[in-house]
Amino acid sequence: MTPLLSARGVTVRYGSLAALDGVDLRVDHGQRHALIGPNGAGKTTLLDVLGGATRADGGRVHLAGRDVTRLGPAARARRGIGRIHQRPATWSSLTATENVVVAALPHAVRPGRWRPGAKRAAAERTAGVMLERLGLRDVGGVPAGRLAHGQRRQLEIAMALAGRPRLLLLDEPAAGLSAVEVGGLVEFLRNLPRAVAVLLVEHRLDLVYALCDRVTVLRDGRTVATGTPAEIRASGPVRQAWAEGVS
């Protein structure tokens, strides 16, 4: 079966440093795939390449069999790639609801018969549903800049889901969350429909093992291992990467 996402030979250079050096990655439909590795391994850079924010110096990215290598972030979002950043990216002066409406607008279904405001109304309905699902209903009217860090993180997930992604790219979503918030996040990701595949960068192995059915280990811009959580747990390269410090 054609994978949902296939990256082949992805290379990104910053001067003499190869942040990524010929990385291959495959994510199947509905898969929960973790990307782990030490600080500076290239995890964020790889998500940037997959989401279209960074243009690779080499390699190709296919989404559901279509070559998306040359597409930017907006075009990839329209094709089903949603992205959560290492630091939440929201519009501080807009309310939580407005943030999700803005994210939903390009994807709001056009009604059969055009009438003024219909698209916005559809986006507002989507926003209401997403805020409810992420436990943010009560803060819908609060400017994003005034939300607590954990709530902004939830808000960014709501924004990504409003784009109806087939693949959600999550960069260390548990970072900076309280234990209670991490529990909520795990629960939420567990309940995410399998129509949405997840590529999760995470240094907390308990979360990786609780959530993921596939793990890829990056180190110095290269894939050193890929397998089931049990295989990865037993493998030498991973223990070595850990001994050198994980981020």
Contact set with Mg ion (CB under 5 A): 43-44
Q: Which is nearer to ligand ADP, 107 or 222 (CB)?
A: 222
Burial class (CB in 10 A: 0-12, 13-18, 19+), 195: exposed
Q: Judge contact between 105 and 74, C-beta under 8 A.
A: no
Q: Which is nearer to ligand ADP, 122 or 201 (CB)?
A: 201
Residues that bind ligand ADP (rule: CB under 6 A) add up to a total of 12
Instruction: Choose among Mg ion, ligand ADP, none what residue 92 binds, the Cβ cut-off being 5 to 8 Å by kind.
Output: none
Smallest distance from ligand ADP to CB 151, Å:
24
Q: Which is nearer to Mg ion, 43 or 166 (CB)?
A: 43
Dmax over Cα atoms in the chain, in whole Å?
A: 61
Check residue 16 for interaction with ligand ADP (CB under 6 A).
no
Smallest distance from ligand ADP to CB 19, Å:
3
Check residue 82 for interaction with ligand ADP (CB under 6 A).
no
H-only helix segments in 42-199 = 43-51, 73-78, 96-104, 118-133, 149-162, 179-191
Check residue 40 for interaction with ligand ADP (CB under 6 A).
yes
H or E element that contains 240: helix 236-243
* Pick from 137, 135, 109: nearest CA to 123: 109
Under the rule (CB under 6 A), what is the footprint of ligand ADP? 14, 17, 19, 37, 39-45, 247
